[in-house]
Chains A and B, each alone.
Chain A
Amino acid sequence: MELFSINNLIKKAVENINQIKESGRLVVGIPQHGIIPDELFHAGGIFPLHLTLGGRAEQEIGDEYLSPTTCPFGRATIGCFDEKNELYSKIDYLLTGTFCNGVQNIGNYAKYFDLPVIKFITPHTTSNSAFTFFLDEILKLKVEIEKITGKKISKNEISKSIKLYNKVRKLLRELNLYRINIPSKIQGLELFYLVHKVFLLGPEIVIPELEQILSDIKDRDPIEKKARIFLTGSGICLEDNFYELIENECNGLIVGDDLWSGYDFYRVDIEENGDPIKCMAKKYLLYNMCGRMIPDPRINYIFNIYRECKAQGIIYHILKYCDSYSGLKYEFKKSLDKKQIPVLELERDFAESNIGQFKTRIEAFLEMIQ
């Protein structure tokens, strides 16, 4: 099916980036998963390209730079730069910072690929002082973008970009309802794919498609009864095929998630009344569900979201050596056990050698919870 072809999506993304560059706009590569105001780049006329590719071959190339106990995403991203990936080679600037060790490591090696860096430091807590710091970082980022483009970003332009991104988030939330409701009419894979379309093509291109899907979805056949899964933990990269494994090969249905590559991207809008910079800071620092925060905010959301989407069990996905989700996995699982929620923990990387073992474990889990 064309809709879910990752290769086609990447091909389209390359074409899109070529057009953007031909129009004289710049492209910033963002390895950071969330907690970054795309709207600000958009308002400044820079295309924010989320770096979300993660494949086995690239991970292996990345091993020549980073140690094998670095997150697979960091290694794969460096691998993409090294092999001059068609998409990544179009990047003019790389946004790095202290989001996590993986992102820092990517930034540390930017010089090897002649990539100028824009630094963005993200605090770990949501205290008042951390919020003020984050707000200042966004203001600094604004100045940096203005310096690069030679053009001031007006509040009006930021507000317009916020509205545009809010619209895409709203449409994704509406679609998400068709995944949550029983019977579901949309697979987790399709929503995952659409979120990545926003990351790679930008909201303008994706909004008409989302509207079309929404107007047609009522007429879709309901998805046959499958084990309903909630996915938590490390986000899923393109070319990783994890959704395909759960939904297509193991016959499960991912009805909810809290991932940067999923619901965390569109769960909360940016307030449209008030100072736009402050409103962006609030959404990204205070309302994210990212496990890199201290304390892990998922615990405040996961039970409600899990209940809302009527899931039957949780797959706790950990990308090996991803500190955001590995450090406290024991305590996190214990809190799920207390609520008697069935959990399957899968710790993996982009290597495909052990896929059979994961498939068996997922199938057994789905069978158990159904």
Chain B
Amino acid sequence: MKYMEINNFVTDFTYKSILDLGIKYLLGNKEIKEAKKSGKKIIGSFLPPIDMIYAFKNALPIFLPRLIEFEYEKYVPILNLLNKFNILKSILNYYIKNENVLLSQFFKDFDQSGYSRVFSSLIDIAANSNYYMDTCVQTRISYGAFLKYFNLVDMIIGGFEGNYCLHFAKFYERINLYKPTFYFEKPYGDENSPNTISIIDKEFNRFIKLVEKLTKEKIDEDLLINILRIQQEIRKYLILIYKLFKRGYVPLQSVALTLIHGCYVDLLSDPIFCKNKLKQLTNEIYHKYKKHELYNYKKEGIPRIIITGSPGFDPALPSIFQNAGASLLYLDLFQSAKDSKFKLDFKLSGLDLYKKFLVETNYVNGIIDLIDLWLNIAKEIKVDGILFSKSWGCRFTTPAFKILKDRANSELAIPVLGLDFYTPGENLSQAQTRIEAFIEMIKKK
């Protein structure tokens, strides 16, 4: 029973803040439809940054995968209601303490097969629209989502990823054939690269003009500064939570961590709500920590594995790790927050400040930057192993598997498991066997 409490990702949903974030995430489709009806322009994206859209009152950004309607969509209004009256949290607590009750099957479906089926159906939409299928699962799902929710979105902002992944660049070129798409040219370089600073400056101005034309309003620089202030505060909370990972705890499991990553892209149509929920979450976690209710995984001997590689992984993986007696952690955002050099400088205008942010969060060495980030996480939180998600068809991240594996072995002596991933729900038994063997090997060490 104790183990169930320790290593159960459903536990995270007993945090009111996580429940609030989760339900708000699921309400994305409904909220965007309402915003659209009220005359707002909807600007979609697949990856951050997209928060600069909040500097326009007549526009709303949307992380396109947030539009996806899951099979349990019908439960969302009830869950929302139960959550409002704080009943949902009690139900979840009951579930955790009473394993094998009816709710078990519900949660099994909730976290695994439902997701797989929805994602697979989006992939089918892409395939039926002559999308090039010999490529990563992310763009196959994203293209399906784009087509399915085509009418909800007025414009797409893309290209950030295109600067490091040519497939993504071509993906945006294809989307642009059907929907206005801004391709943001943002080549590698940082604050030491004057030509990168210059191009980001010009591209950002070009983008702002386009959104001004679309929304028929001027950008509000105060709102732009405000969003950066909110982001800075969010980073502060992420760093506080990350500190506990560094001390051997797992204050949040992979499902909640993935949710936070998902929320971060568009700040759930409401940056203040998002920031407040992360503040609340930090308080809730530290409250538990101070009451000694958080288990120290290092001391308990439960292996902590970080997930690296291509973004997105099979939704079944967290359960497989949990059943194998390990915890799978997705911490990219937390380490990025910790590494962030960006500081608010009120001498600068909103536009200049945001450009500075874009420059300082840019890649300099592509995938090597990400490998450095993952190895830093591994080192800082002293992980027991690294899982590398080898997304089939990914030409940017997956080819660097050998580099990560060699460096993890030579620099940190940490074992790495590479797991192929083509489509959600496929080859799960094989993945399970390999994960179990990997965890067993780690435990024997």
Contacts and interface: CB of A to CB of B under 8 A. Distances in A.
Contacts of A242: none
Nearest to A130: B185
A295 B398 CA distance: 26
A132 B198 contact: yes
A98 interface: yes
Interface in A310-351: 320-321, 323-324, 326-331
Contact of A128 (B167, B202, B399): B202
Interface string B383-411: 00000001011111011111100000000
A124 B134 contact: no
A147 B287 CA distance: 58
Nearest to A140: B195
B188 A108 contact: no
Contacts of B132: 326-330
Interface residues of B, number: 48
B39 interface: no
Given A105-B395, A108-B367, A132-B198, A328 B403 contact: no
B317 to A, nearest CB: 19
Given A65-B402, A296-B173, A331-B177, A320 B185 contact: no
Given A129-B203, A327-B135, A328-B132, 10 more contacts: A64-B402, A71-B395, A74-B399, A123-B187, A132-B199, A133-B185, A133-B195, A326-B170, A330-B131, A331-B177
A69 B398 contact: yes
A327 B171 contact: yes
28 contacts: A66-B399, A69-B134, A69-B393, A98-B163, A98-B188, A98-B366, A101-B167, A101-B396, A101-B399, A104-B164, A108-B403, A109-B402, A119-B188, A121-B187, A124-B163, A124-B166, A124-B169, A127-B185, A128-B202, A132-B202, A133-B185, A133-B196, A294-B169, A323-B169, A326-B170, A327-B135, A327-B173, A328-B173
A241 interface: no
B395 A129 contact: no
A328 B194 CA distance: 33
A64 B402 CA distance: 8
A70 B395 contact: yes
A304 interface: no
Given A104-B396, A132-B198, A327-B173, A121 B189 contact: yes
Nearest to B187: A121
A47 B183 CA distance: 35
Contacts of A327: 132, 135, 166-167, 170-171, 173-174
A69 B195 contact: no
A320 B199 contact: no
B130 interface: yes
Interface in B184-219: 185, 187-189, 194-196, 198-199, 202-203, 206
Interface residues of A, number: 45
A69 B195 CA distance: 33
Contacts of A128: 202
A79 to B, nearest CB: 14
B224 to A, nearest CB: 20
B398 A67 contact: yes
Contacts of A123: 185, 187, 199
Given A124-B183, A294-B183, A328 B174 contact: yes
A323 B392 CA distance: 14
Contacts of A98: 163-164, 187-188, 366
A124 B185 contact: yes
Nearest to A97: B188
